[in-house]
């Protein structure tokens, strides 16, 4: 964890006591954002919630009694009107994923860089706190394990570069103006349900489950022994609730600047092992037999390590977050939901 806190602040005069926090979530109709809204509703039903999304990849229009307002983070005036009154902004709107950013580089820049600057500028002007996730992609090929957020940045693709630019701009905007949490986020998996709507994303584990249930071969990029750290979308969403709790405290004490944390689990499985678990569950729970096939790896820059540990000790210590979900349990749940 890195910390940049303004030591010049008179905490008694600059602190902001908040009786009932107002939390804004950008990207609220998406895979993570929609779950974050659910977690906030369940943990703090008395808190006020602002939900916005431009519906580029949106999957829901409302969550419980919260309607999602159609707002694009690239439109600064419209964005600031929508965020007015927010004490904490969880900025989850992004063009995510290597492929989407490579296919739409201008859009990725406008959303991930310009949009993030717009959110950070709002926070600087109003003093609202900010939570922002960036990706393992900012590290490129990690130099050592377990991974920490302090490791050098060396992105290998446009997605990683845009997220790095967002990280750096928030560091600049937050200095002396507002507290911010930056999250180095691991590989997501899992589905969740929002008001009876199943919300998911074609991450590798979700992709394997879908193919297995269709009786299709699970294709694994060579050599198959390459490991990744997997963290469930529900655990990630809960991290933002823990973050908001701490940010409200930091607003009260007048702190500014950034803190950087890791969101990951203790499950760093090889891709072949994941495919094996999916195949095993499909056979035992549904009587479906599928093959696993190694295919040529089109990603020449992919990290090929057999262990992919991430150190989350600082996240545990400072925001009190622990991952709860397990890969095999999530796969079992996904198979069961398909049965229903």
Burial of 267 from C-beta contacts in 10 A (0-12 / 13-18 / 19+): buried
CATH number of 192-229+266-306+325-333: 3.90.25.10
How far is 207 from 87, CA to CA, in rounded Å? Answer: 37
In the chain, CATH 3.90.25.10 sits at 192-229+266-306+325-333
Average pLDDT value for residue range 297-322: 91
Task: Express each pLDDT in 162-185 by its tens digit.
Answer: 999 999 999 999 999 999 999 999
Level-2 CATH architecture, domain 21-189+232-263? 3-Layer(aba) Sandwich (3.40)
Tell me, what's the pLDDT at 1?
A: 53
Give tens-digit pLDDT for 118-145.
999 999 999 999 999 998 999 999 989 9
Question: Confidence class of residue 55 from pLDDT cuts 50, 70 and 90?
Answer: very high
Distances from the Cα of 261 to the Cα of 155, 199, 265, angstroms: 18, 26, 13
Over the stretch 187-208, which tens digit does the pLDDT of each residue have? Answer: 999 999 999 999 999 999 999 9
Question: Tell me, what's the pLDDT at 231?
Answer: 98
> What contacts 172, CB < 8 A, 6 or more positions away?
none
What is the rounded distance in angstroms from the CA atom of residue 211 to the CA atom of residue 292? 11
- Residue owning tokens 């689990």: 265
pLDDT digits 0-9 by tens, 28-43: 999 999 999 999 999 9
Mean pLDDT, range 59-71, rounded to an integer:
97
Contact call for residues 41 and 66 (beta carbons, < 8 A)? yes
- What is the rounded average pLDDT for all residues in the chain? 93
At residue 274, the pLDDT reads 97
- pLDDT confidence band for 298 (50 / 70 / 90): confident
What count of other Cβ atoms lies within 10 Å of the Cβ of residue 329? 12
CATH 3.40.50.720-classified regions of the chain: 21-189+232-263
Q: According to DSSP H, which parts of 254-326 are helical?
A: 271-286, 313-319
Query: For residue 313, what pLDDT band results from cuts at 50, 70 and 90?
Result: very high
3-class state of residue 183 by DSSP: strand
Q: How many CA atoms lie within 13 A of 108 on its CB side?
A: 19
User: What confidence score (pLDDT) does residue 78 get?
Assistant: 98
pLDDT tens readout for residues 252-271: 999 999 999 999 999 999 99
Q: What does the block give as tokens for 248?
A: 């409200």
pLDDT (0 to 100) of residue 3: 52
For 89, 94, 204, 217, the CA distances from 31, given in Å and listed in that order, are 17, 11, 15, 26
Query: Has residue 6 got a pLDDT over 50?
Result: no
In the predicted structure, residue 7 carries a pLDDT above the cut 70:
no
Model pTM above 0.95? no
CB atoms within 10 A of CB 300: 6
CA torsion sign for 263, 265, 266, 267 is: negative
Report the distance separating Cα 111 and Cα 95, nearest Å. 7
The closest alpha carbon to 210, from 31, 337, 34, 56, belongs to 337
């Amino acid at each position: 964890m890195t910390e940049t806190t303004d030591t010049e602040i008179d905490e008694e005069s600059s602190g902001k006591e908040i009786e009932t926090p107002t939390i804004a979530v950008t990207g609220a109709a998406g895979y993570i954002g929609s779950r974050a809204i659910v977690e906030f509703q369940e943990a703090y039903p008395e808190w006020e919630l602002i939900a916005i999304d431009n519906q580029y990849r949106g999957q829901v229009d409302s969550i419980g009694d919260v309607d999602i307002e159609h707002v694009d983070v690239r439109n600064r005036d419209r964005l600031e009107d929508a965020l007015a009154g927010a004490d904490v902004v969880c900025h989850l709107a992004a063009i995510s994923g290597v492929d989407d950013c490579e296919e739409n580089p201008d859009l990725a820049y406008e959303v991930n860089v310009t949009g993030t600057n717009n959110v950070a500028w709002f926070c600087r002007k109003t003093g609202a706190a900010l939570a922002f996730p960036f990706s393992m992609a900012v590290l490129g090929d990690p130099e050592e394990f377990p991974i920490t957020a302090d490791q050098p940045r060396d992105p290998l693709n446009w997605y990683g570069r845009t997220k790095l630019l967002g990280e750096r701009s928030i560091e600049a905007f937050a200095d002396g103006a507002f507290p911010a949490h930056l999250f180095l986020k691991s590989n997501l998996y899992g589905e969740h349900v929002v008001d009876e709507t199943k919300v998911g994303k074609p991450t590798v584990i979700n992709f394997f489950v879908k193919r297995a249930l269709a009786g299709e071969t699970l294709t694994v990029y060579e050599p198959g022994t390459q490991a990744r750290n997997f963290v469930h979308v529900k655990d990630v969403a809960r991290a933002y609730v823990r973050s908001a709790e701490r940010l409200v405290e930091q607003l009260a004490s007048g702190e500014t600047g950034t803190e950087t944390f890791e969101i990951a689990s203790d499950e760093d499985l090889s891709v072949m092992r994941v495919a094996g678990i999916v195949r095993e569950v499909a056979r035992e729970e549904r009587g479906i037999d599928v093959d696993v096939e190694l295919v040529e790896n089109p990603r020449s820059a992919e990290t090929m390590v057999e262990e992919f540990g991430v150190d989350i000790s600082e996240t545990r210590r400072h925001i009190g977050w622990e991952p709860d979900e397990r890969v095999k349990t999530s796969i079992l749940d996904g198979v069961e939901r398909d049965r229903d």
